[in-house]
Amino acid sequence: GQQLNQSPQSMFIQEGEDVSMNCTSSSIFNTWLWYKQDPGEGPVLLIALYKAGELTSNGRLTAQFGITRKDSFLNISASIPSDVGIYFCAGHEGKGGGADGLTFGKGTHLIIQP
Amino acid sequence: NAGVTQTPKFRVLKTGQSMTLLCAQDMNHEYMYWYRQDPGMGLRLIHYSVGEGTTAKGEVPDGYNVSRLKKQNFLLGLESAAPSQTSVYFCASSYSYSPLHFGNGTRLTVT
């Protein structure tokens, strides 16, 4: 199956700093999704991207669907302690996120030092 | 709405024992999935179902069986548990072309 390279693997930052993470693929995806997993819970959808070049915000979070359709970026501005968790990207070959054809990155662990 | 509910939350098995993990969703989603999450491996698809009475293999299906007798329920079975099946198991559901909604996981330890 397809593989996603998600980086960085982990980040140690100070509260208030901005955060950037990304996912890249050797193949084209038609949908990019970003999830966050809090400790002891399941992943929760943050942002869904369906069009190359699309830039979408959700509060302090902004994600972009790369123009080549082979990458996506997630930025968090002015980090706060509750941003701690694991962030997953996921790419889908189709338009959406269901069924087969969905590939997850290995996650970025975000740790915030007050 | 409860969303996706998984039971139990924690379980400890001895090698060779069997068990069934239960997943229920109240969103009328057609598709349901079972993933396992291991450190450094991300989320890996075990089995999935595109509708009542249908199942399909995912990336890591060996050692697991599933059943979807009702649209709202998706069961994951381990017939003879092995230490390699120690993991956190997540159930998810979705419409055919929509992002997945995940449950809060079942932490399984096999000794």
The answer to whether the CB of B11 falls within 8 A of the CB of B111 is no
**In this predicted model, what pLDDT tens digit does every residue of B41-51 receive, in sequence order?**
889 999 999 99
The answer to whether the CB of B36 falls within 8 A of the CB of B108 is no
Q: Please tell me the predicted confidence (pLDDT) of residue B98.
A: 85
CB contact under 8 A, A106 and B98: no
pLDDT category of residue A94 using cuts at 50, 70 and 90:
confident
Separation between Cα atoms, residue B26 and residue B5, nearest integer Å: 9
Helices (H) and strands (E) counted in chain B, each on its own, are: 0, 11
Backbone angles phi, psi at B48, to 5 degrees: -145, 170
Question: What is the residue-level pLDDT of chain B in tens, covering all 111 positions?
Answer: 679 999 999 999 999 999 999 999 999 999 999 999 998 888 999 999 999 999 999 999 999 999 999 999 999 999 999 999 999 999 999 998 789 999 999 999 999
The answer to whether the CB of A25 falls within 8 A of the CB of A70 is yes
Q: Please tell me the predicted confidence (pLDDT) of residue B97.
A: 78
- Amino acid identity, residue A49? L
With a CB cutoff of 8 Å and minimum separation 6, the contacts of B28 are: B71, B72
Partner A contacted by B100 (CB < 8 A): yes
Mutate: best of A44, A92, A104, partner B, most B CBs <10 A: A104
Residue closest to A29 by CA, chosen among A93, A72, A89, A97: A93
pLDDT category of residue A86 using cuts at 50, 70 and 90:
very high
Nearest to A98 among B4, B95, B105 (CB): B95
Residue closest to B32 by CA, chosen among B46, B43, B19: B46
pLDDT category of residue A95 using cuts at 50, 70 and 90:
low
| Segment 18-77 of chain A within 8 Å of chain B by CB | 33, 35, 40-45, 48
